[in-house]
């Protein structure tokens, strides 16, 4: 959430930056709501001061036996006026907060300016793709021929977009997750969590999924809970409404979880096989850091994902998202995409984002600096990695002419196999 004080003091600058995201964003309504609320606050404060003064005067009159009914009626009338204005104040405060919650984060000044994903910047291209000397198959065909994924059974159980991994397919999925978890725990000082998959609305508000993207989330209305779209949501909310000591940051958190996404509005878009599913597994990384180091931490997060892709022997490229394609909560974001030779397309497998203080303001996550001043931490998150597209790219990249799959060397100890056939 953007600080209303910053909007008040730097409206022109913030308007300009947000317009580079979306030209329809207009801060005038927020400024008007803020002015109205502050005027009402002043009026309330003045009336409450009058109320206190009148109460003191009535106390003196009563002690002197001079109070009559008129002074009590006047005080009662003032009290009723204050009560009505307090109700109006609560409504206006809520309305302003809701307007701020709908406002996306301010893009960092280094983010490329653009109007669509076509304007994303290619930071690092794939120098040369792995050579395949035969016509590569799609992961869908490979998975079915090797009996790794039963798409029909998954659809029978839950509907389209819910793959059922089986046999060596289930083993490969588990091996990928364990490999990625161990990689981060052994090399980067993460603390592992196993989080709830259901969260309160306030938790999703903290990370920015609500209220903006309610339609994309699975909502259990009876219990007023949401299935998580990523473990970023529960991990970030671990420190909601807390003040961390300076010595306690940075904090690096990791969780493997199932992720659930309705993918509203994506009908007919990359729905084949494992490319766009409603339930999938992902190793999520979340950082709580000092504001001064958050962009160094973003580069570190990106490099961790790169090393994983190198170990999995996949061809990849790195994209920096432009202002128009930037995620709602992000100030800056890198996407890592792997090449799927069977599908003949690039697949996003990791997003690494710096949210600066956008999420921490929404969740009231703060720290105390060396001078005792309390400020908001910066939060970051990255995928390390999401398995469906990694699974698909791995099958397509490491397929052999005889129909078998060669397992990358780093993954073999987790699978107990050098190939699947």
Domain parsing of the chain, residue ranges: 4-101, 117-420
- Tally of CA atoms within 13 A in the half-sphere of 302 that contains its CB: 21
User: How many CB atoms lie under 10 A from the CB of residue 65?
Assistant: 6
Per-residue pLDDT of the chain (421 residues; tens, 9 = 90+): 999 999 999 999 999 999 999 999 999 999 999 999 999 999 999 999 988 888 787 777 666 666 676 767 788 888 899 999 999 999 999 999 999 999 999 999 999 999 999 999 999 999 889 999 999 999 999 999 999 999 999 999 999 999 999 999 999 999 999 999 999 999 999 999 999 999 999 999 999 999 999 999 999 999 999 999 999 999 999 999 999 999 999 999 999 999 999 986 555 556 679 999 999 999 999 999 999 999 999 999 999 999 999 999 999 999 999 999 999 999 999 999 999 999 999 999 999 999 999 999 999 999 999 999 999 999 999 999 999 999 999 999 999 999 999 999 999 999 999 999 9
Say how far apart CA 329 and CA 320 lie, in whole Å: 15
* Residues with active-site annotation: 261, 276, 348, 351, 389
Q: Spell out where 103-250 has E strands.
A: 121-124, 149-150, 164-165, 191-193, 198-199, 219-220, 225-227, 242-245
Q: What is the CATH number of domain 117-420?
A: 3.30.930.10
Q: What is the pTM of this model?
A: 0.92
Q: At 222, is the secondary structure helix, strand, or coil?
A: coil
Q: At 124, is the secondary structure helix, strand, or coil?
A: strand
Non-local CB neighbours of 183 within 8 Å, separated by 6+ positions: 307, 308, 311, 384
DSSP for 176-192?
HHHHHHHHHHHHH-PEE
What's the Cα-to-Cα distance from 349 to each of 34, 245, 264, 386, rounded to whole Å?
41, 34, 20, 6
Say how far apart CA 297 and CA 316 lie, in whole Å: 21
Say how far apart CA 298 and CA 355 lie, in whole Å: 10
- Tell me yes or no: is domain 4-101 CATH 1.10.3470: no
Say how far apart CA 271 and CA 350 lie, in whole Å: 19
Q: Spell out where 102-162 has E strands.
A: 121-124, 149-150
With tokens 């609320």, the residue in question is 37
Say how far apart CA 154 and CA 157 lie, in whole Å: 5
Task: Tell me if 4-101 shares its fold with 117-420.
Answer: no
Residue closest to 379 by CA, chosen among 183, 203, 197, 207:
207
Q: At 382, is the secondary structure helix, strand, or coil?
A: strand
Say how far apart CA 385 and CA 308 lie, in whole Å: 8
Cβ atoms of residues 282 and 317 within 8 Å: no
């Amino acid at each position: 959430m953007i600080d209303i004080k910053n909007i008040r003091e730097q409206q022109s600058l913030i308007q300009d930056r947000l317009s580079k995201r979306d030209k329809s964003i207009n801060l005038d309504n927020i400024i008007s709501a803020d002015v109205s609320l502050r005027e009402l606050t002043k009026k309330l404060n003045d009336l409450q001061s009058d109320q206190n003064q009148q109460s003191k005067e009535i106390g003196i009159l009563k002690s002197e036996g001079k109070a009559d009914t008129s002074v009590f009626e006047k005080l009662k009338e003032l009290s009723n006026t204050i009560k009505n204005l307090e109700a109006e104040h609560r409504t206006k405060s809520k309305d302003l907060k809701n307007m701020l919650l709908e406002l996306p984060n301010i893009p960092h000044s280094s983010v490329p300016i653009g109007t669509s994903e076509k304007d994303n910047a290619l930071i690092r291209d794939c120098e040369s793709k792995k050579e395949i000397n035969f016509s590569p198959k799609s992961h869908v065909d490979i998975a079915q021929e090797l009996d790794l994924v039963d798409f029909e059974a998954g659809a029978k159980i839950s509907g389209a977009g819910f793959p059922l991994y089986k046999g060596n397919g289930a083993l490969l999925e588990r091996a990928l997750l364990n490999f990625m978890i161990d990689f981060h725990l052994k090399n980067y000082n993460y603390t592992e969590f196993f989080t709830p998959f259901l969260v309160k609305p306030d938790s999703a508000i903290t990370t920015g999924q609500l209220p903006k993207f309610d339609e994309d989330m699975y909502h259990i209305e009876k219990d007023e809970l949401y299935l998580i779209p990523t473990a970023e949501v529960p991990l970030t909310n671990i420190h909601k409404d807390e003040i961390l000591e300076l010595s306690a940051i940075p904090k690096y958190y990791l969780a493997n979880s199932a992720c659930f996404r309705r993918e509203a509005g994506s009908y007919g878009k990359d729905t084949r096989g494992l490319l766009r599913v409603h339930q999938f597994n992902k190793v999520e990384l979340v950082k709580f850091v000092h504001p001064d180091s958050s962009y160094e931490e973003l580069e570190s997060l990106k490099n961790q994902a790169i090393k994983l892709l190198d170990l999995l022997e996949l061809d990849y490229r790195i994209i920096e998202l432009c202002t128009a394609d930037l995620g709602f909560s992000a100030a800056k974001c890198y996407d890592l995409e792997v090449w799927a030779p069977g599908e003949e397309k690039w697949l996003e497998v990791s997003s690494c984002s710096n949210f600066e203080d956008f999420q921490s303001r929404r969740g009231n996550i703060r720290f105390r600096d060396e001078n005792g001043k309390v400020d908001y931490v910066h939060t970051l998150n990255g995928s390390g990695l999401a398995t469906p597209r990694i699974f698909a790219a791995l099958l397509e990249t490491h397929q052999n002419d005889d129909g078998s799959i060669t397992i990358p060397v780093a993954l073999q100890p987790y699978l107990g196999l050098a190939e699947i056939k």
